[in-house]
Amino acid sequence: MYEIIHDFLSSFLSENIAQMAFAPVTLATIAILAYLAYLFCHSVVAMIVRIITRRTVSTWDDDLFNDRLMKAFSQLAPAILVAYLLPDAFNEEGKVYTWLTKLTEFYIVWAFVHLANRFLQNLYDAFDKRKKYKIHTLRGVFQILKLLFICVGVIIGISILFDKSPIAILTAFGASAAVLMLVFKDTILGLVAGVQLTANDMLKKGDWIVVSKSGANGEVIDVSLTTVKIRNWDNSVTTVPPYTLVSESFQNFKPMQQSGGRRVMRSVFIDINSIRFCTPRQLSELKDKGWLTEEDTDKAGHTVNIGLLRRYLERYLASHPDVETRMTHMVRQLQPTPQGIPLELYFFTNTTEWVAYEHIQSDIFNHVYAVVQEFGLSIYQAPSGSDVSSLSPRSLTS
């Protein structure tokens, strides 16, 4: 090629002028060839790859070898062509050749890092599109790999520009390690925390978590190297550093959702003044309504109404169609309080869907509030302003 350029210039220019014009014309020719190589890869090669990937059964190659990856590959091809043509075009001892070679090699390193990062991004997107792999916290892992490629590219690029060994560059970075650790503190902490979150399977995209200190309560929508984004149930977004989740505690409701049952643990406060022994008439009435068993009525004269209510509610939970009976379910008394005796219902619903869960426990406690009076009991309720104002002066003085 270079002989053709030289003969072409010498055919209509003098020898001295042809020698002066040789370098610029050669550079222009190389630039044109590099641009043509880019167009060839960007158009022809990309079209061939597109046709091949579309004809395959698998969709992985469509996600990996997409137009963005082929564009990154097209940016690498011209630099390789230039690096191949430069040695024969210039004197290898000249400064122009030296700097052009350095710039070309630096560009090749940059293009290769860009191509590798684009491939990693396509691989992550391919995993993220598939439900089988979407649950894994892969973004942090891919960001770590990208960061490693960038660091290696920076070291090699600096060594090319300054004619230094990569080991010498690493030694220089090691001398300033304290400064680098201070500047990239959040990135380093996020890197370590991301590895811990992934290795210990502590957090995944789509999990429902609660971080009390940060006021976060919602679904994890993004897990990256430096941030974890949580969409709260009011549709606001809270951003939490990953190392905060590792160094402090947080609550993850994903295992609860996978178990198929969500816990209800609520108490009804019974007025202690309404607790008494049941009369035979009361037992008969409760039996007629189907709320007592034969075992309960055998204890006439020694049966306390709150005990009857507790046993009835346990049978009610055991027979309720929306209560998961394979999990713990019970009704128990807690320590008496100034507001009365807490009668706690402890059970699990057979669904973890939020709206259905709220409806189930509301329906169950509606029944509890209504049935308490049937056992001669009353629920404690603090007096309100209207209760106080309804009292007559005579009742106050008495």
pLDDT digits (tens, 9 = 90+) for 309-356: 999 999 999 999 999 988 999 999 999 999 999 999 999 999 988 899
Question: What integer pLDDT is reported at residue 173 of this predicted model?
Answer: 66
Residue located via tokens 């807490």: 342
Beta pairing class for 262-270 and 216-223: unpaired
Q: In a 3-state reduction of DSSP, which class is residue 383?
A: coil
**CA distances to 90, 236, 311, 330, 331 from 297, in Å:** 110, 56, 12, 21, 20
Least reliable range by pLDDT among 61-70, 280-289, 357-366: 61-70
Look at 287 and 178; give whichever has higher pLDDT. Answer: 287
Question: Where does the pLDDT of residue 151 fall: very low under 50, low under 70, confident under 90, or very high at 90 and above?
Answer: confident
Within 10 angstroms of residue 364's Cβ, the number of other Cβ atoms is 21
* Phi and psi angles of residue 208, each rounded to the nearest 5 degrees, phi first: -100, 115
Q: Decide if 11 contacts 70 (C-beta within 8 A).
A: no
Q: Which pLDDT belongs to residue 320?
A: 92
Q: Where are the domains of the chain?
A: 2-198, 203-253, 260-375
- Phi then psi dihedrals of residue 339, to 5 deg: -90, 0
Q: Is 348 exposed, middle or buried (0-12, 13-18, 19+ CB in 10 A)?
A: buried
The answer to whether the beta carbons of residues 342 and 267 sit under 8 Å apart is: yes
Indicate the residue type of 174. Answer: G
pTM (global) more than 0.75: no
CATH entry 1.10.3470 includes domain 260-375:
no
Query: Could you say which DSSP state residue 337 is in?
Result: B
**Euclidean distance between the first and final Cα of the chain, in Å?**
120
Angular region, 260: left φ>0, alpha ψ -120 to 50, beta rest: left
Predicted confidence at residue 6, as pLDDT, reads 52
| E strand residue ranges, 160-211 | 208-211
- The DSSP line for 280-344 is HHHHHHHHHTT---HHHHTTTTS-BHHHHHHHHHHHHHHH-TTB-TTS--EEEE---BTTBEEEE
Contact 204, 257 (CB under 8 A): no
Beta-bridged to residue 346, according to DSSP, are 265, 330
Closest Cα to residue 187, out of 113, 242, 232? 242
CA–CA distance, 70 with 33 (Å, rounded to integer): 19
Q: Which of 1-10, 67-76, 82-91 has the lowest mean pLDDT?
A: 1-10
Ramachandran class of 200: left when φ > 0, alpha when ψ lies in -120 to 50, beta otherwise: alpha
What per-residue confidence (pLDDT) applies to 395? Answer: 52
Phi, psi of 250 (to 5 degrees): -145, 160
Q: What is the DSSP letter of 323?
A: B
CA neighbours closer than 13 Å in the CB half-sphere of residue 352: 11
The size of the chain, in residues, is 398
Backbone angles phi, psi at 210, to 5 degrees: -130, 120
Encoded tokens for 128: 């993220």
- Mean pLDDT throughout 109-117? 86
In this structure, how many other beta carbons lie within 10 angstroms of the beta carbon of residue 207? 20
- Give CA–CA dist 343/338, Å, rounded: 14
Check whether 219 has a pLDDT greater than 50: yes
| 3-state SS assignment for residue 294 | helix
Architecture of domain 203-253: Roll (2.30)
pLDDT at 287: 84
| 3-state SS class at 299 | coil
